[in-house]
């Protein structure tokens, strides 16, 4: 069997690494032959909406999936007629647009921060009078890792932010004074079988995930997150891995966004869970039995951003596993990650603190 992946970033690379032991082979579509997936599979070079490149990907493979969300919907609708395409195009389309994402949360009674669609400068004026300051202005499309969003502290930020974000359709969100941020990773087979990983706690810096710890042990929040995720996956007739990111406010979960794919906050599952999110995504899109999602201990995952720390230093930490994506260094670029697995959370946190120091950051 051959799996096609639109996008050959680190997520695609890790999907392929998880699929090789199952006897699967991988073909990627990406703009650049140097993308990380190229180290472990063939890359067809092309834009994500290049009809000839997409047709070739469909020809060469049995199932097509994606490791990026910003794939034009019309292009994938076409490919989905030629080859099995999962997760479903409808789920991708919902996640690509912050407004349809939020409307889906609301329709499914999944709490989300208060928001208003903002199509024009005048609409923004009105929206800030309703939601007040601070608030967060986000482009509807193409936002990731803190890009495409601005925090509005007061009226003086409105003009600048509207201009800086490109005067395009946006949403304005109420600022949430969250206690922490959590994510739930669920996986569903086309036949309906569903599994969930334990909640993970995520610390962002400048909109980019800095580190994740799992499991985040809270029975009631785990149940609530699973209920929301199940509702969403059933609504979307989903197949594959789906992530929901939440803000925690007291005992409430507010859904921030969904990712219809494997997620950075699930990288710890490679060594920290019985079956990784990557393998489970592949099992799901092939409608194979899903793997156990239990933890092997207490894990932390630190993103290695901008430059890689000394390998010897990192590997001298007990329970450390390094993943180097083979990317050119650039400020704040995700070049790799390191997962620590420890028998208890205290030991994990001590090692995490040292690892963060090596990465030039600190525990928060
Ligand atoms: P996003 O691109 O929506 O995932 O946002 C990236 C990060 O910005 C989130 O993980 C939060 O840390 C922060 N953020 C986004 N929206 C809000 C909000 N409405 N209130 C407070 N913080 C937010």
For the chain, give every domain's residue range.
2-85, 114-174, 180-358
At residue 84, the pLDDT reads 97
At residue 147, the pLDDT reads 81
Positions of the chain with pLDDT lower than 50, given as ranges: none
Nearest CA, atom 8, ligand 1 = 207
Centre of ligand 1 to C-alpha 229, Å, is 19
Fold (topology level) of 2-85? Rossmann fold (3.40.50)
First to last CA, the chain: 44
The burial of 130, by beta-carbon neighbours within 10 Å (0-12 exposed, 13-18 middle, 19 or more buried), is given as exposed
Pocket of ligand 1 contains residue 257 by CB under 6 Å: yes
CA 23/CA 222 separation, integer angstroms:
34
pLDDT digits (tens, 9 = 90+) for 17-54: 999 999 999 999 999 999 999 999 999 999 999 999 99
Nearest CA, atom 16, ligand 1 = 136
Centre of ligand 1 to C-alpha 308, Å, is 26
Pocket of ligand 1 contains residue 248 by CB under 6 Å: no
> Has this prediction a pTM greater than 0.95?
yes
CA 11/CA 132 separation, integer angstroms:
38
Counting from 1 in the atom list of ligand 1, the atom nearest the Cα of 202 is 10
Pocket of ligand 1 contains residue 176 by CB under 6 Å: yes
Cis? peptide before 134, omega within 30° of 0: yes
Pocket of ligand 1 contains residue 196 by CB under 6 Å: no
Whether the Cβ atoms of residue 95 and residue 69 lie closer than 8 Å to each other: yes
Centre of ligand 1 to C-alpha 193, Å, is 31
CATH superfamily of domain region 180-358: ATP-grasp fold, B domain (3.30.470.20)
Q: Where are the alpha helices (DSSP H) in the chain?
A: 10-19, 51-60, 73-82, 89-96, 98-107, 121-131, 158-164, 219-235, 269-272, 277-285, 311-315, 345-358
Nearest CA, atom 2, ligand 1 = 146
Counting from 1 in the atom list of ligand 1, the atom nearest the Cα of 149 is 2
Counting from 1 in the atom list of ligand 1, the atom nearest the Cα of 178 is 21
At residue 87, the pLDDT reads 98
Q: Are strands 63-66 and 42-45 parallel, antiparallel or unpaired?
A: unpaired
Pocket of ligand 1 contains residue 84 by CB under 6 Å: no
pLDDT digits (tens, 9 = 90+) for 258-304: 999 999 999 999 999 999 999 999 999 999 999 999 999 999 999 99
Centre of ligand 1 to C-alpha 207, Å, is 7
Please tell us whether the domain made up of 114-174 is placed in CATH 3.30.1490.20: yes
At residue 58, the pLDDT reads 96
Counting from 1 in the atom list of ligand 1, the atom nearest the Cα of 138 is 3
Whether the Cβ atoms of residue 137 and residue 161 lie closer than 8 Å to each other: yes
């Amino acid at each position: 069997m051959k799996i096609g992946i639109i996008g050959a970033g680190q997520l695609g690379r890790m999907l392929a690494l998880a699929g090789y032991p199952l006897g699967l082979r991988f073909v990627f579509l990406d703009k650049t032959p140097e993308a990380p997936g190229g180290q472990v599979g063939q890359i067809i070079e092309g834009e994500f909406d290049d009809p000839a490149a997409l047709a070739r990907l469909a020809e060469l493979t049995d199932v097509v999936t994606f490791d990026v969300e910003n794939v034009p919907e019309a292009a994938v609708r076409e490919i989905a007629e030629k080859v099995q395409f999962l997760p479903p195009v409808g789920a991708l389309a919902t996640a690509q647009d912050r407004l349809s994402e939020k409307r889906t949360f609301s329709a499914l009674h999944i709490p989300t921060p208060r928001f208003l669609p903002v199509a024009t400068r005048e609409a923004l004026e009105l929206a800030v009078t309703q939601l007040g300051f601070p608030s967060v202005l986000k482009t509807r499309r193409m936002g990731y890792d803190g890009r495409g969003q601005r925090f509005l502290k007061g009226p003086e930020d409105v003009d600048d932010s509207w201009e800086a974000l490109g005067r395009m359709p946006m949403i304005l969100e109420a600022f949430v004074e969250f206690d922490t941020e959590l994510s739930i990773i669920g996986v569903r087979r086309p036949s309906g079988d569903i599994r969930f990983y334990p909640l993970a706690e995520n610390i962002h810096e400048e909109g980019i995930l800095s580190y994740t710890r799992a499991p985040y042990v809270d029975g009631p929040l785990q149940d609530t997150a699973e209920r929301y995720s199940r509702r969403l996956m059933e609504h979307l007739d989903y197949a594959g891995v789906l992530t929901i990111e939440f803000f925690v406010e007291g005992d409430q979960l507010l859904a921030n966004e969904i990712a219809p794919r494997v997620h950075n906050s699930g990288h710890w599952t490679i060594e920290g869970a019985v079956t990784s999110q990557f393998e489970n995504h592949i099992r799901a899109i092939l409608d194979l039995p899903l793997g156990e999602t239990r933890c092997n201990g207490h894990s932390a995952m630190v993103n290695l951003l901008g430059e890689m720390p000394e390998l010897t230093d990192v590997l001298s930490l007990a329970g450390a596993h390094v993943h180097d994506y083979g990317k050119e260094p650039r400020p704040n670029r995700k070049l790799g990650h390191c997962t620590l697995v420890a028998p208890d959370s205290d030991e994990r946190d001590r090692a995490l603190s040292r690892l963060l120091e090596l990465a030039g950051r600190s525990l928060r």
